[in-house]
Amino acid sequence: MLTLLPLMASAQDADLDGVDDDVDNCTLVANPDQHDDDGDLYGDVCDSDLDNNGTTDGNDIAEFKWLMGTGDLEPDLNGDAVVDYRDLGLLNARMGQAPGPRGVTAADVDPPVFQLDSGLIPSAQEMDGLPGFPVRNVGRMRVDGTMPQDVDVVLNEVVLLTKDPDAAADLASRWGGAVMTSFDPDATLGIPAPAMYLILVDPTGADISSLPAMMATLDPRIHGKHDASHGELLELLALIAEERVNFGLDVSMNVLMGKHGVAERTVVESAATMGGVAQPGGAPYTPNAFEWTMMEVDPDIPGDSLFPVDTRAMEAVRILDAAGRTSNRSRTLIWDGGFFPNADFPPFTPVGPMRAVNTDPSGCGTGSPPAPGSTCESHGTHVVEAGWGLPDNGFGTAGPGGAVTDLTLLQSPVVDVAEIVRFILESLPTALASRPQVLNISAGFDIPAGWCLLACPPLDWMTRTLTSSGTLVVASAGNASRNVDHEDEICILFFPCIPFESSASVPCELDDVLCVGATAYERSALASYSNWGSNSDANSVDIYAPGNVWSVNALNAENANPSPNDDLQIITGTSFAAPFVSGVANLVSSGRTTVDARRVRNCILNTAHDTSMSLVVRRRINAVDAVRCALGGRSHPFLRIIGPSSGSSFEEGIAAVSLGADADDAEDGTALTIEWTSSRDGFITTTSPGVGVSIGPSGLSRGSHILTATVRDSSGLVATDSVSVTVTNPLPITTIVTPIVSPPQTYYAGQTIDLYGVSQDPNETPAFGPLEDGQVRWFLDGSFLGTGHTRTRSASLLSPGFHEFCFEGTDDDLESGPRDCVWIEIVPVPSDMEPDVDLTSPPNGSSYAYPGGPVSVSLVWSANDDEDGAIPWSQTRVLVSRSPSSVYSDHLATPFADVTSQVNVSTICTNPLPPPLFCGGTFQTFYILDIEALPGSSSTIVRIKIEADDSTGNTGEDFNDVQILEFL
């Protein structure tokens, strides 16, 4: 949660609307509902810049005329909920002015910070590339907050939505990439929407330093700390920001989805909204209801710091699911009209006709019958969606009670006040035969006070009867923007005036009815349309809930359609705040072993948030604490493994296993210990929430494991999560050192081909130890040649042309690794041959232990030429080359350095004659060469080469490779 700090020593409220200036989106004009229809962070009452170009001008006059009569309240500049000539006058008066002023934005107070955090662990380090494209590396981004949100991202891909195919090609060209896939819904489905392109990019060079400023420009809601697991991810974000700011392209990250379910706080609802509509308040739409503004825990929204929405509805579903109570079904009777069942409806029993339109003659308060296809015509469908849409079914929306509720759908008749009484007293009991725990009535009537003296007592009696039989009655407060407790006076001459309530809202103000008002968009303030109550007694508005929620187009989504469309839209009204509370009541009912309407009511009211951005909103729904009340004040902790991902495979002795999990608890917060166990190895280790630990390459035994993370809170309640992983035997690795791989070495008849290979078995002891000579094999042109790490082959035995040598190893488990192969070429014997150099010591492929300092190696060689005879010592050179990395990566084709003067060389002859004289008639020179292994390497290949020049300038050479083992 972002805390917006006052800019002055004490809070100020210049327009006296109940919102501090620091967070007020319109500081000089009172707007307690903070309505911001276009989501630009300026309140509508001080935002005459309708086209958002920064100033009020003629374009805004045209925009005003276009919006007038559409029902869009963005041009409602005086806040009276009507767009008329008064608003046009205000617009004309503000010509040339910028919108506002407003308080600070989230980015102003808490500028975004992007930083590297290598401790973040993505669910998978990499994925297979698309056909013809490289491996897809994965990183993780974490947005800090009370409950951090993690998202895994492909590091070298972006998604572009555009109708211009050239834009996709140009973007790929700018970032050294390519278009990998594309999908055009217009061409394939006839849907006029932009095409989607998945583009491979190389973000190297993107300007990370400008990332915070660009992101704050793109959306002033972006604020706080953002951590990235890889530097490439920060560059990718900078790339996206550059493309959006500089080219206006709709570019986004390619996000991984991972696993779904209530227990993991990741459910999937509809994939899209109608026309790409954002969440109320402007946040981008996501199919995960845990992240919806009206459903999540403490939504991180600008201006919400004092009194966030914080309904906690989806978290309440998770807590109930963790307690094993979602199978304890609750039943609700919905008295409404216009039910068109779709895949989002929970199990239901109809009473009256289905797919019958709502025939309310008032048109849901509009004054005329419902328009065909309107929300009012299918009112009952939206009531079901708001309170009981099935969660995690990939369709439509999610309501608080969808996971636990069976519905009875009662098509409401057309009634006047008298018919209401008759319907409740005569007809309704028939529908109540199923004994629902909740009765939801998203309708209301105003009854004149005098008439209430006659009509209200039986209605009060009915609601008391229903409550005593175990049914909680929930009703909407109405959408007339009025105080249901408004008082008039009767004044008689010479007597004091007698105050009385001017009217009664039915059924809202009836005894034992839980009356629900609506909060506005993404804030805890009173919605501009909602009725409210100034009294705190039981016959007033009791609690408030979100009145702006997601729903489908009822006629497009219904089951009768061959291809139902579940794109979402925002619906508005207390009619949808009431089912939201009813759904929470079902959760509470399912959480109790014995159902009592008054206890359910008390759990909801006694645990409600008691502060808000409007003084009249005295209680706001708090679903988590209401469910905890039903569970005796306790709740199961949350636990989700974030790494490794289920199905992962690790090679023994090579790959470390990174363990990490998120956990928190309503009572204990994150002060929890996570214990990790293996079905194969038993106890492994413990971690803290959000903190990973790496288990070394030999940390898990070979075979299949079910890794289980367990957390226990202070009250003894436990949560677990498990993943399946496999530890496999890594294949041995063989590498040919001699001959070199490139360019192919040439030989001619009479020469000896020295074969030398090295081998490694990652899970040997010590790690990456060599195979035995009998476990490695040489092949010549596909045929078995022999075993051992070193062999020789006379070039005279091979025909002229190219030949292939291959080297292969088999480990103790009789599993063979891939062959390593090189090509050589047999050429004719040259007329003027180079000197014949023979390095006999150290032997090719010999090994030396590294004692922590220089390794002494005895050098013995001879050099002879057919024309010149023995080559003197002065015409020979000793050259040494070290492999810059492990033997996996090259065949030691690195350039040689003349290090003769850099090593400790001493000369020993077989007779007293000093060099360059012959020693014993055969020219042999002995050297002691000091070689030091590379620091931190367990194995270093050192190539020693002797070069000799004859009188015609030909150079002969011979070299041997030795292995320096740090742990021999």
**Domains along the chain?**
1-104 (1.10.1330.10), 109-258 (no CATH), 291-630 (3.40.50.200), 638-724 (2.60.40), 729-829 (2.60.40.10), 833-968 (2.60.40.10)
User: From the DSSP assignment, how many helices (H) and strands (E) are in the chain?
Assistant: 16, 46
* pLDDT of res. 489: 53
Q: Using CB atoms within 10 Å of the CB of residue 582, give its burial: 0 to 12 exposed, 13 to 18 middle, 19+ buried.
A: buried
Q: Residue 158 region, left (φ>0) first, then alpha (ψ -120 to 50), else beta?
A: beta
* pLDDT of res. 540: 85
Helix H or strand E segment including 602: helix 597-606
* pLDDT of res. 386: 92
Percent of the chain with pLDDT over 70: 73
- Provide mean pLDDT across the span 374-396: 87
Question: Does the pLDDT value for residue 360 go beyond 60?
Answer: no
Residue 440: which of 314, 312, 530, 330 has the closest Cα?
330
- For 68, 296, 373, 651, 917, the CA distances from 71, given in Å and listed in that order, are 7, 29, 16, 63, 108
- Provide mean pLDDT across the span 643-672: 87
pLDDT tens for each residue of 559-617: 888 888 888 888 888 889 999 999 999 999 998 766 678 889 999 999 998 888 888 88
Bridge partners (DSSP) of residue 769 are 761
Yes or no: say if 837 and 879 are a contact pair by the CB < 8 Å rule: no
The pTM (predicted TM-score) of the whole model is: 0.59
Question: Does the pLDDT value for residue 775 go beyond 70?
Answer: yes
Can you list the positions of beta strands (E) in 830-920? 836-841, 847-849, 855-865, 869-870, 876-882, 897-898
- Provide mean pLDDT across the span 948-963: 85
At residue 496's C-alpha, the angle toward residues 494 and 502, to 5°, is: 125
What tokens were used for 54?
A: 């920064």
Q: Give the DSSP letter string of 357-415.
A: PP--TTTTTTSSPPPTT-TTTTHHHHHHHHHHPPTTSSSS---TTTTTEEEEEEEPPP-
Amino acid present at 253: M
Helix (H, G, I), strand (E, B) or coil at 631: coil
Helix (H, G, I), strand (E, B) or coil at 5: coil
Residue 905 or residue 551, greater confidence: 551
Bridge partners (DSSP) of residue 402 are none
How high does pLDDT run on average in the chain?
77
Give the integer Cα–Cα distance in Å for 584 and 285: 23
pLDDT tens for each residue of 905-946: 333 333 333 333 333 333 334 444 555 554 555 667 777 788
pLDDT tens for each residue of 177-191: 999 888 776 776 555
Amino acid present at 478: G
Bridging pattern class, strands 939-949 and 876-882: antiparallel
- For 88, 114, 661, 688, 830, the CA distances from 691, given in Å and listed in that order, are 57, 19, 7, 5, 68
Yes or no: say if 481 and 530 are a contact pair by the CB < 8 Å rule: yes
- End-to-end Cα separation, the chain, in angstroms: 57
Yes or no: say if 716 and 636 are a contact pair by the CB < 8 Å rule: no
Yes or no: say if 663 and 672 are a contact pair by the CB < 8 Å rule: yes
Helix H or strand E segment including 158: strand 149-162
Residue 516: which of 590, 425, 589, 444 has the closest Cα?
444
CA atoms 234, 235, 236, 240: torsion sign: positive
What tokens were used for 521?
A: 């968009």
